[in-house]
């Protein structure tokens, strides 16, 4: 199937555009789905000739992602907890080491079997319950896409203002209640138009984009650091400040800072198989465990340094570079640094949100949506329907909610990593992941073990989320501290409960002696073989754990 938006051949027939049948995608015979419409070329296993990513490409991805505005703002949030620079660096080290380890563990699913995150969820959740995991990730992707597009708009406004200073004085004709000015709305539209064509690039071809973005990220950040240190005559007062917290208060500040760090990269850690599936070799993704801590610690310290020097230059600490750049007298500097941060923010938006949302929608509606159509949908809905300026207007409440979404995504990551590494020991039957009645059907398409893990891990953090969104909800301080550690508690509780359920009632039908991969089943000469999984000779069970409705699974093996 071609990576296209419109059906081919395209014809000018506006009336047909309104029919559902017009938008049905072409399906190929290569899919392992047992029903037409359950997969398409963008959901299928990546063929060998399209596995082109190496360790350098993944390094570019993470350098590009790390050198964005959000990373520097997170450093400010960590310092605002009352930690000094040395304590903040400890937080950055611990948090980003955890990010690196979990991203590498999750990413190996994609690099080993060349499947997207959406298909990988079926091994732990079951064929139908996997949609819960996918939609949970999809909802957050829309919100974060809008928030990052708003940052793109701010960068665009800086660039336009550097070229035409009068643009910054455009009269505002939009009501204050809307939360955005006329000038920023124009910048939002222009930034959105610049971002849109980049979203249409297929993820496997984004290596060059991330390389360019990584160069701009490093260049723009070092330029700001160099300007700040030169202008201030040193690192600023932040580096001389001593922490005043101690005891339990200090401990909880450490925990809160680490959770801020881990939560900021949780979404990309979960959907990293969407990118790692294009790896040449499985080992390519292990480098992420080393690259991620180095990259984010570096950019985090740069963010602190930039903010610290702003104290000397402007008289107050400014944690967002987007509030510092407009103060510069040099229009050329404002334009080029604004451009660098615009490109890095667009790249982050693509890797963390657009690719994830497009894959999720392609998985949910593979008959109608491919990655290009998914990117188009998230671009329109995430930017315009979500109205990110409203998110900024109600920043405290919505930020607390989006940050608290970890109560669902933390358990999701914990369940997937535990299932893959501890339960199935990295051995998957890839063709069965695409089949409604494959071995990952469990009971009526639901792995009850994952349901139990969610049922325990999610509700226990919901009162804390309610308090974070609305401080009028009274909770004991011990419980508030418990929620502060929601990344740890969500992953730990869900992983433990899931593992206990698997020990008490092992999913025996899915426990393999050796993995079954698509590469092993691509035929030159073919033979047909029945795979017997329980239920007697020549039969397997539709409800693997329940034991009903016999069926036969057929695999096509290559013969040398």
**Same domain, residue pair 109 and 251:** yes
pLDDT in tens, 227-284: 999 988 887 777 777 778 889 999 999 999 999 999 988 989 999 999 999 999 999 9
- Structural domain boundaries, residue 534: 520-558
Q: How many domains does the chain have?
A: 2
| Beta carbons within 10 angstroms of residue 485's beta carbon | 17
Using CB atoms within 10 Å of the CB of residue 510, give its burial: 0 to 12 exposed, 13 to 18 middle, 19+ buried.
Answer: buried
Flag whether 502 is in a domain. no
Flag whether 404 is in a domain. no
CA-CA distance, 543 to 358, in Å (whole number)?
A: 31
531 and 512 Cβ atoms separated by less than 8 Å: no
- Strand-strand pairing, 553-558 and 526-531: antiparallel
Contacts of 496 (CB under 8 A, 6+ apart): none
Question: What CATH number is attached to the domain comprising 308?
Answer: 1.10.4160.10
Average pLDDT, the chain: 87
Flag whether 286 is in a domain. yes
Flag whether 33 is in a domain. no
Flag whether 31 is in a domain. no
CA-CA distance, 56 to 287, in Å (whole number)?
A: 9
| Beta carbons within 10 angstroms of residue 255's beta carbon | 19
**Same domain, residue pair 222 and 364:** yes
Look at residue 225 in the predicted model and tell me its pLDDT. 93
This prediction has a pTM of: 0.88
Task: Tell me which of 8-17, 158-167, 479-488 is least confident.
Answer: 8-17
DSSP code string of 145-205: HHHHHHHHHHHHHHHHHHH-GGGGGPPP-S-GGGS--HHHHHHHHHHHHHHHHHHTS-GGG
| Beta carbons within 10 angstroms of residue 191's beta carbon | 26
> Which among 341, 362, 386 is the end of a domain?
386
> Which among 386, 412, 431 is the end of a domain?
386
Using CB atoms within 10 Å of the CB of residue 197, give its burial: 0 to 12 exposed, 13 to 18 middle, 19+ buried.
Answer: exposed
Flag whether 446 is in a domain. no
> Which among 386, 415, 437 is the end of a domain?
386
3 and 202 Cβ atoms separated by less than 8 Å: yes
Extract the tokens encoding 244.
């005043």
Calculate the alpha carbon distances from 163 to 156, 335, 340 in Å. Answer: 11, 7, 15
Look at residue 238 in the predicted model and tell me its pLDDT. 74
366 and 374 Cβ atoms separated by less than 8 Å: no
Question: Averaged over 426-447, what is the pLDDT?
Answer: 95
Flag whether 425 is in a domain. no
Flag whether 91 is in a domain. yes
**Same domain, residue pair 382 and 524:** no
User: Does the structure show a pLDDT above 70 at 524?
Assistant: no
What is the DSSP-derived secondary structure letter of residue 35?
S
């Amino acid at each position: 199937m071609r990576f296209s938006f419109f059906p081919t051949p395209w014809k000018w027939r506006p009336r047909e555009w309104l029919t559902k049948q017009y938008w049905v995608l072409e399906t190929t015979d290569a899919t392992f789905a047992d029903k037409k419409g359950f997969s398409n070329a963008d959901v299928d296993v990546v063929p060998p000739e399209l596995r082109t990513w190496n360790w350098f490409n993944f390094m570019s991805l993470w350098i590009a992602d790390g050198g964005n505005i959000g990373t520097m703002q997170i450093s400010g949030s960590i310092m605002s907890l009352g930690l000094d620079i040395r304590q903040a660096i400890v937080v950055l080290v611990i948090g980003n080491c955890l990010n690196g380890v979990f991203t590498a563990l999750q990413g190996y699913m994609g690099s080993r079997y060349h499947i997207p995150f959406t298909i990988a969820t079926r091994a732990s959740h079951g064929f139908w319950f996997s949609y819960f995991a996918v939609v949970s990730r999809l909802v957050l992707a829309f919100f974060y896409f809008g928030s990052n597009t708003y940052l793109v708009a701010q960068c665009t406004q800086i660039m336009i203002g550097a070229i035409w200073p009068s643009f910054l004085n455009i009269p505002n004709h939009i009501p204050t209640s809307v939360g955005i000015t006329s000038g920023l709305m124009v910048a939002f539209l222009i930034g959105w138009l610049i971002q849109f064509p980049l979203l249409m690039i297929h993820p496997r071809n984004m290596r060059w984009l991330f390389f360019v973005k990584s160069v701009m990220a490093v260049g723009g950040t070092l330029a700001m650091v160099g300007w700040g240190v030169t202008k201030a005559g040193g690192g600023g007062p932040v580096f001389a400040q001593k922490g005043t917290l101690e005891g339990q208060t200090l401990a909880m500040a450490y925990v809160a800072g680490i959770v801020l760090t881990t939560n900021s990269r949780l979404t990309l850690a979960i959907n990293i198989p969407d990118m790692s599936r294009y790896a040449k070799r499985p080992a390519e993704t292990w480098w992420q465990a080393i690259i991620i801590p180095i990259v984010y610690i570096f950019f985090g310290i740069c963010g602190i340094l930039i903010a610290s020097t702003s104290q000397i230059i402007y008289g107050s600490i400014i944690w967002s570079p987007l509030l510092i750049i407009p103060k510069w007298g040099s229009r050329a500097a404002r334009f080029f640094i604004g451009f660098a941060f615009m490109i890095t923010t667009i790249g982050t938006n693509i890797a963390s949100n657009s690719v994830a949302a497009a894959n999720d929608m392609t998985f949910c509606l593979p008959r109608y949506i491919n990655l290009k159509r998914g990117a188009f949908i998230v671009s329109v809905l995430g930017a315009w329907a979500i109205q990110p300026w409203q998110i900024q207007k109600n920043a405290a409440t919505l930020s607390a909610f989006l940050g608290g979404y970890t109560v669902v995504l933390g358990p999701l990551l914990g369940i997937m990593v535990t299932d893959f590494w501890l339960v199935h020991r990295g051995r998957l039957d890839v063709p069965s992941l695409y089949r409604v009645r494959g071995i990952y059907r469990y009971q009526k398409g639901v792995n009850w073990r994952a349901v139990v893990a969610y049922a325990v891990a999610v509700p226990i953090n919901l009162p804390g989320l309610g308090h974070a969104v609305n401080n009028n909800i009274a909770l004991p301080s011990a419980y508030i501290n418990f929620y502060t550690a929601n990344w740890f508690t969500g992953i730990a509780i869900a992983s433990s409960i899931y593992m206990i359920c698997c020990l008490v009632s092992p999913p025996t039908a899915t426990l393999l002696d050796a993995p079954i991969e698509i590469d092993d089943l691509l035929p030159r000469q073919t033979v047909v073989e029945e795979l017997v999984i329980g239920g007697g000779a020549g039969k397997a069970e539709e409800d693997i754990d329940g034991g009903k409705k016999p069926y036969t699974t057929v695999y096509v093996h290559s013969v040398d």
